[in-house]
Structure 1
Amino acid sequence: MGYQIKIPACIYGGEGCIENINNIIEKENAKKLIVYTDKGIRKAGLLDIFTRVVDEIEAEYKVIDDLTAEPAYQDAERVIREAEDYSADLIIGIGGGSVMDAAKLCSVLKGADYTIRDLLKDPTRARKQVKTVMIPTTCGTGSEATCNAIVAIPEEESKQGIVNDSMIPDYVILDSQMIRKLPKSIVAATGVDALAHVVECYTSKKATPFSDTYAAAGARLIFHNIREAYSNPDNMEAKNSMLLGAFYGGVAITGSGTTAVHALSYPLGGKYHIAHGVSNAILFAHVMEYNKEACKDRLAQLCDAVFPEQNSKNVDEKADYIIGQIADIVKVTDIPTDLNQFGVKMEDLDFLVDAGSKQTRLLVNNMRELSLEDIRTIYKRVLK
């Protein structure tokens, strides 16, 4: 078997590149647009950056901005229904992962004879109905590059990914002015999420030379810029590097896939509504430490790619260095890691183990096979 990778057809980068939205609209001969965003994006004035550009060509658009963060599939279905009676030639997602995932879902559901619930059971049914443009406003989810959409399933108190190549966006705009005023806490959480993407993809069983190329490039950008992007919000060079690194991480996901960090974080988001990036950060170093014996060679290779000045170290020391850098980044960026403050108690351990073990789509990628007892051990490490 060979290997492949799929990426968006057209990607614009650099500050001010949102101006290209008019070129996209004209190229696609789009008369009507559906724009997914959220009220926080609108309040921050980021939607205005977009509307000022498209108003120049008098494009018609419908804005849907009432999606909740970390949405349940029912909420995603609700905002997709809002677009039912509006014929559109292009769907735009302006926001973080939840917004872009909703836009991607709408692109395969609008006018289709299946629902999100149907796709949760059989994602192969999805077919693109309307082309998409993704404009990320955080520096971490990578949703602008992937064929994934993540939704919460309240009745199972967990999350699940719908994965289908039809959801790979057609256009991506990586404009650093969209993250200029991003709150530090969001820089931290989404940035560590992006870091998890590149490290997990590089150490995944499904890693390929294609995914390795993007994962290593993303890792270099994120490891070397996340602290600066967090501590110095005015450093737009660092923020642009984070935006690009997050995109590379998303591309790596399409060719490889995340592993146990993401698998075990889903119950934390699904039941306790911990932000996705935060739940990943809580588990990240602990899972990689647990995985180390199975993937230390890969961690050492990543260390060579990202920190060549450490090349005199042996394999174990390089693997430890990468894990140490992960732990330090989580600490420096002040991401809360005490599960007690999120209402998670030791008596919840059985639920976490059961729910985490069901995330087989991602666990099969993990280089170290995790038994129920292994999963229990990892969760114990993050339960104070």
Structure 2
Amino acid sequence: MKQCQLTIPGVVYAGPGSVEKINEVLQREKAQSVLLFTDKAVRGAGLTKRVEEICSAVKLTVIDDLASEPSYQDVERVIDEVSVANIDLVIGVGGGSVMDAAKLASIVIGADYGVRDLLKDPTIAKKYIKSLMIPTTCGTGSEATCNSIVAIPEEQSKQGIVNNCMIPDYVILDAEMIRHLPPKVLAATGVDALAHVVECFTSNKATILSDTYAIEGAKKIFHNIREAYADGDNMDAKTEMLIGAFYGGVAITGSGTTAVHALSYPLGGKYHIAHGVSNAILIAHVMEFNKDACTERLSALCDAVYPEKYAETADSKADYIISEIKDVVAKVHIPTKLDEFGVKKEDLDFLVKAGSQQTRLLVNNCKELSLDDIRYLYEKLF
């Protein structure tokens, strides 16, 4: 066993009605001024209503106009709007982009650096404000990670800002927040969570600690995503997805995603393909490409998720996991060809160059990717 580390949120509340624990957080932090990050869709669906009611006892500032999958300029703009406020607690209620922005606010408000500076050197970050994350999807895992992903328009790509200071202090996992989640959003975010657990388990940086969360997350996601998508009233499956996504986020912090996420960033950055969808397009192809370098790991994952396959060969079990990934993507009706999103083959040179620059994640991949390998993987998407 090698030495390893796992940094996780300080307090996690889970279960029906756990959003009421906001009262406990406010009291514990002696918070008098709260900054709430959300978006208009989440707020319009009434998901922040109870949060706002609870926080009405203190000074509450709401930011709900953040762009979907925002650029670093978008995040800087909304943070600048409240930079002079005396904030005691930052709350993020929403999907990954909302929570990522809230986490950035917790380390930028009051600092002498900005988001642009963190893109150049994330090690300068320091936490200035405590944070509470409440996910309204079942996939990004942002409520558990030290990452914040922002688009960089001038590069037509995305980049992760990574620093342990962004680990949330509090997390609330309340399945009521995803009861009315649209199937399309459940599909995209759910496959994102699936990518997290599979990538983290096969990552070069996987550890005994990250493996524990990746395995448990994989069990919950593989066995529940199809059911949660097919039956929106299946709250047991949705609860399992919410917890599985959180476990995937913890696994990211201890291990890290790989080539699936690396190659998905240009698809989101230039073509604005939803993050979970771009991962869904890539994941089976990347795992097939990686298979000869991680057969034993995929086999071990199969043993954990599908113990009935235990007596089969490692090769067949690795193939079975990949086939299940393909089946999940098909069952939740995510398109898997780039031409359906307006991407053309003449864009390959851009994709290869942009994808190859995601070295933070590519170094985690169990198999080194040359430029020709990256081109091969993108070509598979047409």
Please tell me the root mean square deviation across aligned C-alpha atoms, in Å.
Answer: 0.7
What is the CA distance between 1:149 and its match in structure 2? 0.1
Amino acid at match of 1:124: T
How does the TM-score come out when normalised to structure 1? 0.98
Kindly indicate whether the alpha-carbon contact (under 8 Å) linking 2:141 and 2:250 is maintained by their aligned counterparts in 1.
yes
Q: How does 1:154-303 map to 2 (within 5 A)?
A: 154-303=153-302
CA distance in 1, matches of 2:258, 2:83: 36
Between 43-52 and 106-115, the greater mean CA deviation after superposition: 43-52
Inter-partner Cα distance in structure 2 for 1:73 and 1:336: 28
Q: Which amino acid aligns with 1:202?
A: F
Residue in 2 that maps onto 1:336: 335
**Match for residue 137 of structure 2?**
138
SS of residue matched to 1:150? strand
Q: CA deviation at 1:336?
A: 1.8
1:226-282 CA distance string (max 9 Å, x none): 001100000111000000000000000000000000000000000000000000000
Asked if 1 retains the 8 angstrom alpha-carbon contact of 2:34 and 2:55, the reply is no
Are the counterparts in 1 of residues 134 and 171 from structure 2 also a CA contact under 8 Å?
yes
Partner deviation per Cα, 1:3-24 (whole Å, 9 max, x = no partner):
0100000000011100100000
Alpha-carbon displacement from aligned partner over 1:119-163 (angstroms, at most 9, x marks no partner): 000000000000000000000000000000000000000000000
1:320-375 deviations in whole A, cap 9, x for unaligned?
00000000000000012221121100000010000000000000000011100000
Report what 1:347 is aligned to. Answer: 346
- Per the alignment, residue 82 of structure 1 pairs with 81
Distance in 1, Cα, partners of 2:330 & 2:341 = 18
- Name the counterpart of 1:26: 27
Counterparts of 1:77 and 1:274, CA distance in 2? 22
Structure 1 residue 313, shift from structure 2 partner: 1.1
Identity over aligned pairs, percent:
66
Offset at residue 2 of structure 1 (A):
1.1
Q: Take 1:101 and 1:150, find their aligned partners in 2: how far apart are those partners?
A: 7
Partner of residue 36, structure 2: 35
Tell me what 1:101 maps to: 100
Tell me the distance in 1 between the aligned counterparts of 2:340 and 2:306: 35
**Who is 2:69 aligned against?**
70
Q: Which residue of 2 aligns with 1:9?
A: 10
Q: How far off is 1:33 after superposition? A: 0.1
Say whether residues 1:305 and 2:304 are aligned partners. yes
- Shift, 1:52, TM fit: 2.8
Q: Secondary structure at the match of 2:48?
A: helix
The residue type paired with residue 160 of structure 1 is Q
- Work out the CA distance in 1 between the residues paired with 2:295 and 2:69: 33
Q: CA deviation at 1:87?
A: 1.0
CA distance in 2, matches of 1:201, 1:107: 26
Runs of 4+ in 1 over 6 A off after TM superposition: none
SS in 2 for 1:15: coil
Give the structure-2-normalised TM-score.
Answer: 0.99
| Structure 1 position 53, deviation (Å) | 3.1
TM-superposed deviation, 1:54 = 3.2
How far did residue 60 of structure 1 move? 1.8
User: Structure 2 CA distance, aligned partners of 1:281 and 1:49?
Assistant: 33
Query: Secondary structure of the residue that 1:382 maps to in structure 2?
Result: coil
Structure 2 equivalent of residue 54 of structure 1: 55
Q: May I ask how many residue pairs the two structures share in their alignment? A: 381
User: One-letter code of the match for 1:208?
Assistant: T
Residue identity matched to 1:262: H
Q: Which runs of 5+ in 2 are unaligned?
A: none
> Contact 1:35 / 1:62 at 8 angstroms: preserved in 2?
yes
**What is the deviation of 1:86?**
1.8
Residue 83 of structure 1 and its aligned partner are, at CA, apart by 1.5
- Residue of structure 2 equivalent to 1:113: 112
